[in-house]
Amino acid sequence: MSHSNTSGRADPPPAIEVRNLTKAFGDLVAVDKISFSIASGEIFGLLGPNGAGKTTTISMLATIQRPTSGTATINGYDIVGQEDDVRRSIGIVFQEQSLDEELTAYENMDFHGRLYRISGEERRRRIDELLTLVGLSDRKNSLVKTYSGGMRRRLEIARGLLHEPKILFLDEPTLGLDPQTRNHLWEYIARLNEEKGITIILTTHYMEEADRLCDRVAIIDRGTIVVLDTAENLKNSIGGDIVTITSPDPDAIAGLLTAPWISAIEQHDGSVTIHLQEADRHIPGIVTAIHQSGIGITSLSVRKPTLEDVFLHYTGRTIRDEGADSKESMRMAHRARRR
């Protein structure tokens, strides 16, 4: 999924342009002056914990909520002044399921197509093509209430593409699915992007999802974008290898290790995380120094950085840490969506 232009032609305008976008619910700022640009045909990820502001961001870009301040354009259209053009340009799959369980898959798609005034013959052609794309053509006449969670997700994605939008929003697309179904859905999303050239923005708190699918990832925490780059660059930005040592006295270990080849030391939940290059060369020296100081080691592990490490490095906490402020943010956003 490369978007470089070597032909000498000017790059196309961005599919999404966001500038200082802000959303406040009373005193609570759910999204705080975020800015980013998404290229046409890119898969872009908003990665962060529940309540970080991901769904509120998507809701503003999809014209469901009005921003408190800031601007954004979708497919060249302003989200405040040109809402109808924006809505025609996007497909959206929200966390909450919105299918009619008493209708078949085909009937759900057909109803959606009529809402968008797609003519009968064209509607039938697109429905058949999309149900084949997401692997549901053999179950198109089954009632949705007989579908598994993964099948419903795939149907919602197919429905979101029926009016041929340029941009698809996926809000936590694999939430609550088992690992095997999640893997299958990732394959469908990647194929969609490749075969249709569709721009996809997805929100997730699954590291592996962002790592595997996204061309670039913006880490969002407490309403602000903390860092934005390719997953590879983000992982490289925090050092080559990661050694994690658990110990009864992590403070002492952190104070002891001061070698120049250590790029960073972090403490979290009774463990010390050491970022360094060529861990294999330096581990014997680290272990010897700790033992000579009389400090105990409970366990030691070595690995390459993940996006979880990136999140911890830039925010000081794991993505699973969730304070009261994020739960309140979710409640406020939910209330606003229901109005």
The CATH number for 276's domain is: 3.30.70.980
Residue 77 is assigned to a structural domain of this protein: yes
pLDDT score, position 304: 87
Amino acid at residue number 40? S
Report the pLDDT value the prediction gives residue 332, as an integer from 0 to 100: 43
| Residue 321, pLDDT score | 56
- Position 331 scores a pLDDT of 47
Question: How much is the average pLDDT of 252-261?
Answer: 84
Residue 4 above 80 pLDDT? no
Pairing of the two strands 77-78 and 69-74: antiparallel
In eight-state DSSP terms, residue 138 is G
Q: Is the pLDDT of residue 256 over 50?
A: yes
**Residue where one domain finishes, among candidates 234, 249, 272:** 234
Q: What is the pLDDT of residue 200?
A: 95
Same structural domain, 121 and 167: yes
Q: Are residues 144 and 40 in the same domain?
A: yes
Answer with the residue of higher pLDDT: 265 or 229.
Answer: 229
> Rounded to an integer, what distance in angstroms lies between the CA atom of residue 174 and that of residue 82?
31
Residue-range definition of the domain harbouring residue 295: 239-304
Q: Which two tokens stand for residue 137?
A: 């053509």
Residue 95's pLDDT band, with cuts at 50, 70 and 90, is confident
The mean pLDDT value for 122-147 works out to 93
Q: Are residues 70 and 92 in the same domain?
A: yes
Give the mean pLDDT of 11-18. 89
pTM comes to 0.80
Q: Let me know whether 100 and 199 are in one domain.
A: yes
- CB 87, CB 63: distance < 8 Å: yes
Q: Are residues 99 and 216 in the same domain?
A: yes
CATH number at residue 21: 3.40.50.300
Q: Considering the domain boundaries, does residue 6 fall inside one?
A: no
Confidence of residue 29 (pLDDT cuts 50, 70, 90): very high
Q: Which residues contact 316 (CB under 8 A, 6 or more apart)?
A: none
Do 119 and 257 have their domain in common?
Answer: no
* Torsion sign over Cα 95, 96, 99, 102: positive
Instruction: Indicate if 225 and 98 belong to the same structural domain.
Output: yes
* pLDDT value of position 90: 94
* Count of structural domains within the chain: 2
Whether 150 shows a pLDDT value over 60: the answer reads: yes
Residue with the bigger pLDDT between 266 and 226: it is: 226
pLDDT, residue 9, reads 61
Categorize the per-residue pLDDT at 8 as very low, low, confident or very high, splitting at 50, 70 and 90.
low
Instruction: Round to whole Å and give the CA distance between 44 and 203.
Output: 9
The answer to whether 33 touches 21, Cβ cutoff 8 Å, is yes
Name residues whose C-beta falls within 8 Å of residue 34's C-beta, 6 or more positions apart in sequence. Answer: 18, 20, 21, 22, 53, 57, 70, 220, 223, 224, 225
Lowest mean pLDDT across 31-45, 249-263, 298-312? 249-263
Confidence of residue 215 (pLDDT cuts 50, 70, 90): very high
Tell me the average pLDDT of the chain. 87
The span from the CA of 327 to the CA of 330, in Å, is 5
Sorted by sequence, the CB contacts under 8 Å of residue 307 that are 6+ apart come out as: 47, 207, 210, 211, 217, 219, 231, 234, 235
Question: Can you say whether the dihedral through the CA atoms of 173, 174, 175, 176 is positive or negative?
Answer: positive
Cα 216 from Cα 37, distance rounded (Å): 11
Is residue 202's pLDDT more than 50? yes
End of a domain among 234, 266, 289?
234
Highest mean pLDDT: which range of 11-20, 68-77, 96-105, 272-281: 68-77
Of 218, 234, 250, the last residue of a domain is 234
The one-letter code for the residue type at 104 is T
CA Rg, the chain, in Å?
23
If one compares 172 and 324, the residue with the highest pLDDT of the two is 172
Residues facing 143 on adjacent strands: 104
The answer, yes or no, to whether residue 127 has pLDDT greater than 90, is yes
Q: What is the pLDDT of residues 173-187, one digit of tens each?
A: 888 888 888 888 898
For residue 162, being part of any structural domain is answered with yes
Task: Determine the 3-state secondary structure of 230 from DSSP.
Answer: coil
Say whether both 87 and 145 belong to one domain: yes
Is residue 3 domain-resident? no
Percent of the chain with pLDDT over 70: 91
110 & 174 share domain = yes
Of the pLDDT bands very low, low, confident and very high (cuts 50, 70, 90), residue 96 is confident
Q: Residue 94: its pLDDT value, please? A: 85
Domain for residue 22, yes or no?
A: yes
- Alpha carbons 336 and 23: distance in angstroms, whole number: 11
